[in-house]
Amino acid sequence: MPAAIYSGAAGDGTLVRTADRVLWTPPRTGGHLRYRVLIDQRRANGEFDSRITPDFVITRGDHLFPPAKIRATKGSGSTAILHFDLPKGWDDVETPFSKVSGGDFAVTNSERKFDRPIGWIAAGKLVSARETIAGMRVTVTAPKGEPARPGRDTRDPAPGVCRKSRARSANCRPNC
């Protein structure tokens, strides 16, 4: 958790920050870890890998939730629910995760002991187009008033729109 990107770490249990690492030991009955994330990440060419404005945010879950090493007792597991409290006027959230009650998202990854949210996340004043392409359900999302792909209209959910390097312009489901 580089301090230049992640700040204000606090939680139940014990928490120790050493340089770019945070060691959190939750209480036996679970707990909560909170921290602040610098969203805007500009690449050398001027484009954004991650962007937040007064009207929208488009970022990757792996940017919001840094890698974690865990030690767990045999037979234990994790349950991760992603919940969003949106600013007034923001009306949409798109993630690669399944919606559960109350508009929350269930984060599941059977390959890991810790269900870390990864993949594109977009929220705010958005427009989305959904299509099934080659048997895969695809969602293309862009901020309202902006093309989902440079030179394309947001109503055109063409294949190949999802590009990891174009955080400003596309959100694709499942993880791309």
The whole-number pLDDT of residue 72 equals 73
The whole-number pLDDT of residue 154 equals 44
Give me the residues of the chain with pLDDT under 50, please. 150-176
The whole-number pLDDT of residue 122 equals 94
Residues 126 and 143: their CA atoms lie apart, in Å, by 4
The whole-number pLDDT of residue 151 equals 44
Q: Decide: 108 and 78 in contact? Cβ < 8 Å.
A: no
The whole-number pLDDT of residue 89 equals 94
The whole-number pLDDT of residue 123 equals 94
The whole-number pLDDT of residue 29 equals 80
Structure tokens of 96? 């690669």
Does this model's pTM top 0.85? no
Helices (H), 46-93: 61-64
